Amino acid sequence: MSLMFEKVLNVSSGQILPERPPAGLAFLNGVCEHMGIEYSSLDLNLFINQELDEETWVRLEQVTPFYPVTDESVLSIVDDVLDKFCDRVQSFDPDLIMVSVLSYYQNFWAQSFLEKLKSLGLKAKVMIGGTGIGVPLGDETKDTFAKMLLRKELIDYYVLGEGDMILQSFLRDGTISPGINHRNTRALPGTETETWAQQIDELDQCPTPSYKQMDLDSYPNELGVTGSRGCVRRCTFCDVGHYWKKFRFRSGESIAREIEQHYRDTGRTRYVFTDSLINGSLKSFRDMLATMAKVREDNNGMPELQLLGQFIIRPSRFHPEQMFREMRTAGIHELSIGVESGSEKVREHIGKKFSNEDIDWHMEMCSKYGIQNNLLMMVGYPTETEEDFNESMDMLDRYQKYTIDKTVRHVNESYPLVLLKNTPLHHMADDLDISGFNDQEYFNVTWVSGKNPKLTIHERFKRFVRWQRRLIKLGYWRPQTLRVIIRELMRQIENLSERTLSDRVKTDILS
């Protein structure tokens, strides 16, 4: 069968710690493999990591996530790295390059790569996809990142939504289905008109991601697996519901069999679910646990496989002790749980639907069955009062004991709450009397709520510092990325001070 494209190169962007082969790349590889297309894949992130010494990597890691980057010395390093990287691209001589951008933080490297690619004048068409491409740039064009790339002719196509099915028909005969945007559609700069792929109902029909052509020895012993898309909750701060309107999940058996297959193909023993939550469907989750247990039983000599993923807490009647026992047997090793706050009132506003008693039960069971947890927390939710915040601090005291046996292995909070566009909170902005929110900016930390006037920007940032100090005092390990986060907050404060000063000068002049 003749295909529209004969040689496809899949590329993923940087820069994050290369903890595992990028799932986005495995996804694209899986589609190509399914179509029988000759393909190769290059992980730019890994390449950067291998090219730079540790000091330079850290230096760039602190600036490249925040788009745009203007530091000339950084740009020069980036240019050198990309020169070498593009040699590899050229040596494969593809006729299509598909670029995966995991998140907003990879946009700088993605754009730099695309600019370098354009300067080489390759004949290959370029397509880009991933959740990072839809974020607004926050400038006067009102473009998203993807639209800007299209406007600058750095890409030929961008994909919004799930690409599993539409990519197959595109690769086959160039079909432009909804979700594939290009210059000849109405996705014009500065317009809102663009198409999204229809959400796939039957995930079991999607091609299986493939890691076969990836240099797995260059990564830690870890692979990504996707068991579901979307979420069963609509937490107010989260934009997952915008990208995936419905929660869709694979059968538990097919997930377990995929893991078994990856183990056979690659020998990897640690699997990280990319899902928003692995137990959205309790039925599928428990089927997966049962099949994993069977896989272990049937494969005498197979080492214990470790499974890690995001998980939602529910009351004990839904999550009985037996389920935790099954989790342990199946190899569930670490869970990331969105606790968000120690205050039930705040969690209720978020839409979490579990009590402090439910969290206590979860911790007790995880401690008993040796399952580690990563608590995802936030500081400065719009309705958070001093009392609510203190309840979160008290929770840290209460759960300190769980750091001993690693039932609590991490506590992650990124920033004082970032208000994201396309979230329920964004839609509640009027109800909460939120001001200072610029919906052309992705990174909104400097908002205020008229309904909670004591939670000023100053207060919110102070709580963040108090929170960090308590964590350090109690001996919780802190993420390496915290240094980057603190520096970014300082930059935000400087920007805010300049804006405030500039506003005052304007006011003075006007008066």
- Site residues for other proteins per CB under 8 A: 17, 19, 220, 367, 400-405, 407, 409-410, 446, 448, 456-458, 461-462, 465, 468-469, 472, 474-475, 477-483, 486-487, 489-490, 493-494, 496-497, 500
**270, 308 in Cβ contact below 8 A?**
yes
Q: Which residues contact 351 (CB under 8 A, 6 or more apart)?
A: 233, 234, 235, 236, 424
Compare residues 424 and 479 and give the one whose CB is closer to other proteins. Answer: 479
Compare residues 167 and 363 and give the one whose CB is closer to other proteins. Answer: 363
Compare residues 268 and 409 and give the one whose CB is closer to other proteins. Answer: 409
- The DSSP bridge partners found for residue 10 are 41, 98
**DSSP 8-state code for residue 136:** B
The distance of closest approach from Cβ of residue 55 to other proteins in the complex, given in angstroms and rounded to an integer, is 15
The distance of closest approach from Cβ of residue 452 to other proteins in the complex, given in angstroms and rounded to an integer, is 15
The CA-to-CA distance between both ends of the chain, in Å, stands at: 74
Structural tokens at position 410? 């991490």
- The DSSP bridge partners found for residue 97 are 9, 126
Q: Which residues contact 504 (CB under 8 A, 6 or more apart)?
A: none
Structural tokens at position 105? 């933080």
Run of H or E including 292: helix 282-298
The distance of closest approach from Cβ of residue 357 to other proteins in the complex, given in angstroms and rounded to an integer, is 17
Compare residues 49 and 228 and give the one whose CB is closer to other proteins. Answer: 49
The distance of closest approach from Cβ of residue 374 to other proteins in the complex, given in angstroms and rounded to an integer, is 8
Token pair 């205020």 in the structure block, residue: 448
The distance of closest approach from Cβ of residue 474 to other proteins in the complex, given in angstroms and rounded to an integer, is 7
Structural tokens at position 18? 């290369």
d(CA 43, CA 58): 18
Compare residues 192 and 405 and give the one whose CB is closer to other proteins. Answer: 405
d(CA 15, CA 448): 31
d(CA 370, CA 213): 34
The distance of closest approach from Cβ of residue 482 to other proteins in the complex, given in angstroms and rounded to an integer, is 6
Compare residues 38 and 364 and give the one whose CB is closer to other proteins. Answer: 364
Compare residues 17 and 120 and give the one whose CB is closer to other proteins. Answer: 17
The distance of closest approach from Cβ of residue 211 to other proteins in the complex, given in angstroms and rounded to an integer, is 20
